[in-house]
Amino acid sequence: MGGKGSDGGRLTGIALITLGVPKVAGARVGGAPATPAVVRVLVWGSLDVAVTAGVGRFFHEAIT
């Protein structure tokens, strides 16, 4: 296994998938276009993950 925090990319990908999939389902059930909802949640979700990673790196902490 890798060092501390080595699975950050995988964790980020899983987090974004778990944010996007319910948006697609909700849009389909509601009859709305899925693309704007998914793009919005993925852009802001990516920003959230990046800020969280930056704060963790600043304080020398990582999810293991």
Within a domain: residue 23? yes
pTM of the model: 0.63
Number of domains in the chain: 1
Residue 28 lies in a domain: yes
Counts for the chain of helices (H) and strands (E), in that order: 2, 0
pLDDT for residue 35: 92
Compute the distance between CA of residue 60 and CA of residue 15 in angstroms, rounded to an integer: 21
Q: What angle do helix axes 34-58 and 8-30 make, rounded to 10 degrees?
A: 150
pLDDT at 1: 41
Question: Residue 44: inside a domain, yes or no?
Answer: yes
Only one residue has tokens 């704007």, namely 36
Reported as a single tens digit per residue, the pLDDT across 17-30 is 888 899 899 999 99
Inform me whether the pLDDT recorded for 63 exceeds 80. Answer: no
What pLDDT shows up at residue 33?
93
Range of the domain at 44: 8-58
The tokens of 57 are what? 């790196």
